[in-house]
């Protein structure tokens, strides 16, 4: 197990700068730690208070008796070094440095000194310039972001603060379950590669999502990312992909967004799914974390609207995925329910007359057919059916099918369609408002499958 | 004025096949016509009924006395030709043929005969194989889609039925106001070019959105599209862009999706904004229809999160738009409100400390600066502010600014962010859940501006 084990499952956590003032960051972090239900020891550190949020407060970390594995440091940058020494004396293992005012504003020396001193005490540093971290298996939310993140199997690493906090909120809205959420900020010490090593072995994590502006050690990232990608997909939003973006990144975190082509090559070599937008990343995370891995590339598209089918075919083709004729036994089954003029090539068009039952039957039959590896279901809200009825039919088919297979659903329409999408995503069935997004998200699973096969062949003798 | 004037503003409209059975399409269409508030004469035609929905019913169109300009034909394909002759006798000008069962199922001869007979009577045909049409300036909703489409300035032409109806619902959810919505189906007679000619001169339409699988007369489309594009932007979702997609389109409508490169060239020549996805199209329509045209390309990005700014910069660069240093007087104004470490290059980073008031002031200042042509506002939901508060601040700035300029807003976060987006879009301020979508949508306006300048130069002597 990686050396980050104690960071994610500390016996005790101290919050330095745990103010009684509810607008202060130290207060907000302590509140999240308490209210999200962390089971270990919690120690507010505040020389000016006897208690904070009902917990006994300590004047310094070194005055706490009991194992403090993690010290969250929420004091101004000028006071951080004192806390480092104090935490070191107390035998802490990890410093989580919230404070800004380091490398990102040109204060390189202070940042180097922070790491040097922490190392001297045998401590590792997360941050500085971060909003904290979350690890849901132990109910630890040590951030000043939203409290009620949904427990799940996605680990999210973010180099950006404000965007990271906002996206933390998005995960809740989108129903994406989180194992860990780590703000890495300036990455003075702990970086993406360290975290990937931990998540590689973490049984609670199945997918990793990274918002990255740059990495310090590209070679190490490629090594570690290649390793984990053989087991778990890694999705990367590489910000500063363009020269203009890289310039913006430089003026923002002082981070070197670096040569665009170099990153692209590195991602390809390491089997990482690189995406351009936040939306794409979240869309991918849904199929990757809720669906099983596909056993092949044979996707069947089921639709009630030809146009939606064409749009999906275009998107799949853009993603290098070509639809083949569906297996004959599947076609025969569908023929029994649809009108004779229905086109049963791929996309399989149930026609605008499609009922909820037709969706149920065709989706279940597809999921159970051995020659079909993944199912893309498209539904256009028409006068004949209700989106919620179709969503329920699809969910029933998924639940009753004798096999678990990747599925992705588009429900196109107005408010009722929106509600049906929420219904399905709450049940962990990936659902989207447009055919293109549903198609692109299922294609991500095939893309990951290809990367993984390539990586496995590369390392296996005779592979 | 084009010959389609009577289609969109008929004195009277007859619905043939106006059943009393509320599940029948003829009934649904009549109901929409009545309930959406059409002010002209409405005539149900049904030989088996005396009245339908409280309106006197007629046994045939030719028994109606009074001007019937439009006849909606909602009977099976085998009976359509009889209606054509009957309507022709009655002096109708337009047939709106809902029925399927023509070219799309190989019945080419029936379709040709339909048009031949209609022409003989001096009538034009919309369809067949369609769900009807809408023209909100006269409160006419003659579709079996959703009733309460929002009146506005966007004309939407769709070749797809089920997808078109579903997207009709999406316009309502997204707050997109519609001038016209036309299902063109098989385009046996009236096609995209005819409609573009009408919308070119239609004072109620400012933007045209087309879902297209193929056109019959490419040269004419380019001519007409080039003409209207000098005045109004045309956004096209070209379905069947790829070989696989084209194959799917062929099996769906029998439409020849045709050579992909040819379409791309045609779109470029005619100044059409070609998009790949339904989402992109709707995103574009918001900026294009709610914002004024930009007078130049100088975009300023205002953000409270560096990461969001970098993502927006990347997207703008992908769209060929490069951010320049903001004007000095603008920078001086912003300096008065932000902390000294804020980066005031472009993106202008208000920092995570940004308050609602900072947003108000900086957005207003930007909108009023003569050297700024468009403003992209990004907001990450953090602990300090509420999305609704920031949305209100932005709306106030837009309302109070001395100049109208294109604006696009991203509000990133959870449920509160979603609600703030709805709040802004209801007020016709384009707002999106991610920085990339907001950036891409404002870039569409610049792209249109370039196309338009190119078209104008091409036709103007000495231009």
List pLDDT tens digits, range A436-446. 999 999 999 99
CB of B382 within 8 Å of any CB in chain A?
A: yes
Q: Are A431 and A418 in contact (CB under 8 A)?
A: no
Predicted local distance difference test score (pLDDT) of residue B462: 54
Half-sphere exposure of A353 (CA within 13 A, CB side): 9
CB pairs < 8 Å spanning A and B: 269
A143: helix, strand or coil = strand
Domains, chain B, with CATH or none: 1-130 (3.40.50.720), 149-290 (3.40.50.261), 293-450 (3.40.50.261)
Strands (E), A347-435: 348-349, 374-380, 407-412, 431-432
pLDDT greater than 90 at residue B257: no
Query: Which residues partner with A52 through β-bridges?
Result: A55
Q: Which of A105, A304, A322 sits opposite B162 (nearest CB)?
A: A304
Which helix (H) or strand (E) segment is B382 a member of? none
Count of beta carbons in the 10 Å neighbourhood of residue B445: 25
Q: Within its chain, how far is the Cα of A256 from the centroid?
A: 23
Which of B76, B314, B317, B331 is the mutation pick for testing A, counting most A CBs within 10 A? Answer: B314
The minimal CB distance from A414 to the residues B146, B343, B382 is found for B146
Which of A210, A206, A195 is closest to A274 using CA atoms? A210
Beta strand ranges found along B276-380 (DSSP E) = 299-303, 348-349, 374-380
How far, in Å, CA of A155 to CA of A134, rounded? 9
C-beta separation of B131 from B161 below 8 A: yes
Q: Which of residues 290-309 of A touch B (CB under 8 A)?
A: 304-309
- Using the beta-carbon criterion (under 8 Å), do A164 and B307 form an inter-chain contact? yes
ipTM: 0.96
User: pLDDT tens digits for B155-169?
Assistant: 999 999 999 999 999
Cβ atoms B356, B396 nearer than 8 A: no
Handedness of CA B430, B436, B440, B443 (dihedral sign): positive
Q: Does A211 touch chain B (CB under 8 A)?
A: yes
Residues 217-276 (B) with a CB less than 8 A from some CB of A: 237, 239-245, 247-249, 251-253, 257, 276
Identity of the residue in B105, B309, B383 whose CB atom sits nearest the CB atom of A252: B309
Gap between the Cα atoms of A292 and A285, Å rounded? 12
pLDDT of residue B247: 85
DSSP state for residue B23 in the 8-state scheme? T
Percentage of the residues of chain B whose pLDDT score is greater than 90: 88
Q: What is the CA radius of gyration of chain A?
A: 25
User: What would the pLDDT profile of B197-250 be if each residue is shown by its tens digit?
Assistant: 999 999 999 999 999 999 989 999 999 999 999 999 999 999 998 888 888 887
- CB-based contact, B352 to chain A, within 8 Å: yes
A70-73 vs A94-97, strand pairing mode: parallel
Answering whether pTM is above 0.90, one says yes
Taking residues A67-94, report their average pLDDT.
97
- Tell whether the model's pLDDT for residue A252 goes beyond 70: no
CB contact under 8 A, B242 and A314: yes
Rounded Cα distance between A26 and A30, Å, is 6
B163 vs A412: CB contact, 8 Å cut-off? yes
Task: Tell if the CB–CB gap between B213 and A173 is shorter than 8 Å.
Answer: no
Q: What is the pLDDT of residue A461?
A: 62
How far is CA A405 from each of CA A370, A409, B185, B225, rounded to the nearest angstrom?
Answer: 10, 13, 35, 45
Chain A hits for B318, Cβ within 8 Å: 242, 276
The SS3 call for residue B379 is strand
- How big is the CA angle at A240 (ends A447 and A275), to the nearest 5 degrees? 15
Nearest to B238 by CA among B159, B182, B317: B159
Name the percent of chain B lying above pLDDT 70. 97
When CB atoms are compared, the residue of A28, A169, A249 closest to B413 is A169
């Amino acid at each position: 197990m990686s050396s980050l084990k104690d960071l994610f499952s500390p016996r005790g956590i101290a919050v330095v700068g745990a103010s009684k003032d509810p607008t202060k960051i130290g207060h907000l972090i302590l509140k999240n730690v308490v209210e999200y239900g962390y089971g270990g020891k919690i120690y507010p550190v505040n020389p000016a208070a006897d208690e904070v949020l009902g917990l006994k407060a300590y004047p310094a970390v070194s005055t706490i008796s009991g194992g403090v594995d993690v010290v969250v440091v929420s004091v101004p940058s000028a006071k951080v070094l004192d806390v480092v020494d104090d935490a070191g004396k107390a035998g802490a293992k990890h410093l989580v440095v919230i404070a800004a005012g380091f490398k990102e504003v040109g204060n390189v020396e202070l940042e180097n000194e922070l790491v040097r001193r922490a190392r001297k005490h045998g401590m590792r540093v997360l941050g500085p310039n971060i909003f904290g971290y979350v690890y849901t298996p132990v109910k630890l939310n040590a951030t000043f972001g939203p409290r009620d993140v949904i427990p799940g199997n996605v680990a999210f690493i973010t180099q950006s603060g404000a965007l990271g906090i906002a996206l933390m909120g998005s995960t809740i809205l989108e129903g994406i379950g989180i194992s860990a959420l780590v703000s890495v900020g300036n990455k003075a010490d702990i970086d993406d590669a360290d975290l990937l090593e931990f998540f590689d072995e973490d049984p609670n994590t199945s997918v990793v999502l990274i918002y990255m502006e740059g990495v310090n050690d590209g070679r190490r990232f490629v090594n570690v990312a290649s390793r984990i990608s053989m087991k778990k997909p890694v999705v990367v939003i590489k910000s500063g992909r363009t020269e203009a973006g890289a310039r913006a990144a430089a003026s923002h975190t002082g981070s070197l967004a670096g040569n665009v082509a170099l990153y692209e090559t590195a991602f390809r070599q390491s089997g990482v799914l690189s995406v351009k937008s936040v939306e794409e990343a979240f869309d991918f995370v849904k199929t990757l974390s809720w669906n099983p891995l596909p056993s092949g590339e044979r996707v069947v598209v089921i639709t009630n609207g030809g146009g939606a089918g064409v749009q999906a075919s275009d998107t799949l083709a853009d993603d290098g995925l070509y639809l083949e004729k569906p297996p004959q036994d599947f076609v025969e089954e569908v023929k029994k329910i649809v009108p004779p003029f229905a086109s049963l090539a791929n996309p399989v068009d149930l026609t605008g007359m499609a009922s909820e039952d037709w969706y149920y039957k065709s989706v279940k039959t597809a999921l159970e057919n051995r020659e079909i590896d993944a199912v893309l279901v498209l539904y256009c809200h028409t006068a004949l059916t209700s989106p919620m009825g179709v969503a329920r039919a699809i969910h029933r088919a998924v639940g009753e099918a004798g096999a678990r297979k990747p599925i992705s659903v588009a429900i196109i329409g107005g408010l009722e369609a929106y509600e049906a999408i929420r219904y399905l995503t709450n049940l962990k069935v990936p659902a989207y408002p447009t055919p293109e997004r549903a198609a692109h998200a299922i294609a991500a699973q095939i893309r990951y499958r290809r990367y993984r096969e390539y990586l496995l062949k590369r390392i296996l003798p005779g592979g």
